[in-house]
Amino acid sequence: MSSTLTKNPVVPGRNVPPERPGQPGSRRAKNREEKTQIIASAALELMLASGIESVTIDQIVKRCGIAKGSFYRYFKDKTDLVEALMEPVGELVCGALDACITSVSVATKKQELLAAYVNLAGGLSMTFTQHPDIARLYLQECRSPNVGARKPIGILADNIIHGAISLTHAAQEHGLQRPVIAQVSANAVVGAAEKLILAHLNGSLDQPPDQIYSTLITLVVDGLRGDRPR
């Protein structure tokens, strides 16, 4: 078993299975948490290399050096495992989007819109800094068919698009963005952001994340800003 698998927890705070495995902080609870992290880390490495659908539970347990039956003590199936992997990124990204929508809903000036987007960019940057491999897996898989073990990724992708559409509607209601079709502009911006983030994570775009985000924000705010002077 690779000794590197548990260095960075990939499913922090998740209680798998739902019932509590002994008292918090007990040796039993710690063992269960460690095993959960080992399985999740091994799966993440394999899925990043080969894709979610091609990786089997047999390959995961072989990588971990555990019996196949042990896998089902911590995860119901591969879909449940992918859902656990996506949990931290999904919570942070959707939380940042919700906060941005709230801010834009009360914005009346371009500067306020810009500040809301800057805060959103900061939240996204923190997410991808804390969970780069999980973010990379999401970005590699989010445009694939929403079937099988990819379903948790498809749900997260839908939530992000719906959040971006709500954000566009909120800005348009205050005349801060042009009345273009929200679904079109939201998909275009999310698609561009995802491509830039993946390029950065893969090392093909060497600009610092803050410069990438600030450039994208400028393009969005200036390109879609409303016609009313503020």
CATH number of the domain enclosing 26: 1.10.10.60
Judgement on whether residues 155 and 119 belong to the same structural domain of the protein: yes
Q: Cis omega (within 30 of 0) on the bond before 21? A: no
**Is 72 a member of any domain?**
yes
Q: Please, are residues 186 and 165 in contact by the beta-carbon 8 Å criterion?
A: yes
Tell whether 132 and 196 lie within a shared domain.
Answer: yes
Note the pTM of the prediction, 2 decimals.
0.84
Q: Provide the pLDDT for residue 152.
A: 96
Identify whether residues 69 and 100 lie together within a single domain. no
Give the pLDDT confidence of 191-224 residue by residue, as tens digits.
988 898 889 888 898 887 778 877 888 887 776 5
Q: Does residue 230 sit within a domain?
A: no
CATH for 126: 1.10.357.10
Task: Please state the separation of Cα 113 from the chain's center in Å.
Answer: 23
Q: Is residue 87 part of a domain?
A: yes
**Whole-angstrom distance, CA of residue 152 vs CA of residue 142:** 10
More confident residue, 184 or 21: 184
Residue 3 inside a domain? The answer is yes
Handedness of CA 137, 138, 144, 149 (dihedral sign): positive
* Structural domain of 204: 79-224
Residues 174 and 196 in one domain: yes
How many domains is the chain built from?
A: 2
Same domain, 43 and 18: yes
Question: Is residue 155 over pLDDT 80?
Answer: yes
Predicted confidence (pLDDT) per residue in 77-87, tens digit: 999 999 999 99
SS3 state at 193: helix
Alpha-carbon distance of 43 to 87, in angstroms, equals 15
Same structural domain, 6 and 98: no
Which residues lie across from 177 on neighbouring strands? 225
The answer on 83 and 69 residing in a single domain is no
